[in-house]
Amino acid sequence: MKTILITGGTSGFGRAAVKRFHGAGWRVIATGRRAERLDALADALGRERLHTAAFDIRDEAEMRAAIDALPQAFRDIDVLVNNAGLALGTAPAQRADLAQWKQMIDTNVTALATMTHLLLPTLIARRGAILNIGSVAGSYPYTGGNVYGGTKAFVSQFSLGLRSDLHGTGVRVTSIEPGMAETEFTLVRTSGDQTASDTLYKGAEPISADDLADTLFWIATLPPHLNVNRIEVMPVRQSFAGFQVARE
């Protein structure tokens, strides 16, 4: 039986992935700050193959304590899904909130790198896999994407760098880069503006959390000699727009 650790298991992609892998018979570790959401998952799925750990992923000491406290049956982690992350704000850089920038960097970059560093010995021993959730925002700039896009560019390049460093270990690394997906992402980004969230997704047939969970499951269950390096997934209704020109 394989074991997977999914950060950000309380919502969106992460929660859907917890259910997807658990449903397929995997042992799952789900993390997130909202303990009541993790408890609800345990109520639904039971605790035999689900372990939950509630902590703020920006707190390295809490993260280490949670990994140290893993029950024996959950210690041999085969797959790490670095999913916990967020965007905050849509203002252009010159009007952005510095505290929001730092929270995005601490969560999307520092915590992701820290968790990876902590679990690398186990993942190497298991010839496991690291699935990092990047974003199309890491490749394609848009106004107001500034630091969020920068953090996701880090995820993409860090994933490729890990592939290189882990050469010969058998560990697989993938950067999964979704486009517009309907989760709590926009609610978080707009500090709880449900109308903004509903308006953004209306009529767009966005990616669903279950769609992305299926993508993660497909990658995690490929034959062990195959590695998906980077994968972009978008709704058909979303594509690219052109450059802008500030004319005289």
Q: What residues make contact with ligand NDP under the rule CB under 6 A? A: 8, 10-14, 32-34, 37, 56-58, 83-86, 107, 133, 135, 178, 180-181, 183-185, 188
Cα–Cα distance, 227 to 58 (Å, whole number) = 29
Phi-psi region of 109 (alpha: psi -120 to 50; beta: other; left: phi over 0): alpha
Report residue 11: phi and psi, to 5°.
Answer: -160, 165
Query: Which of 173, 180 has the CB closer to ligand 8X3?
Result: 180
Minimum CB–partner distance for residue 83 and ligand NDP (Å): 5
- Residue corresponding to tokens 């979303």: 238
Minimum CB–partner distance for residue 121 and ligand NDP (Å): 22
Query: Which of 13, 55 has the CB closer to ligand 8X3?
Result: 13
Considering only CA atoms, which of 105, 79, 96, 98 is closest in space to residue 7?
Answer: 79
CB-based contact 96:147 (threshold 8 Å): yes
- Under rule CB under 6 A, residue 155 binds ligand 8X3: no
Is 148 one of the catalytic residues? Answer: yes
Cα–Cα distance, 61 to 38 (Å, whole number) = 20
Query: Which of 16, 171 has the CB closer to ligand NDP?
Result: 16
Q: Which does 138 bind (CB under 5 to 8 A by kind): ligand NDP, ligand 8X3, none?
A: none
CB-based contact 167:125 (threshold 8 Å): no
- Under rule CB under 6 A, residue 180 binds ligand 8X3: yes
- Under rule CB under 6 A, residue 136 binds ligand 8X3: yes
Selected from 135, 156, 183, 197, the binder of ligand 8X3 by CB under 6 A is: 135
Half-sphere exposure of 215 (CA within 13 A, CB side): 23
Query: Which of 44, 125 has the CB closer to ligand NDP?
Result: 44
- Under rule CB under 6 A, residue 88 binds ligand 8X3: no
Non-local (6+) Cβ contacts of 105 within 8 A are 147, 151
Contacts with ligand 8X3 by CB under 6 A: the residue count is 6
Question: How many other CB atoms sit within 10 Å of the CB of residue 162?
Answer: 21
Selected from 4, 66, 137, 219, the binder of ligand 8X3 by CB under 6 A is: 137
Q: Which does 183 bind (CB under 5 to 8 A by kind): ligand 8X3, ligand NDP, none?
A: ligand NDP
In sequence order, the β-bridge partners of residue 217 are none
Residues marked active site are found at: 148
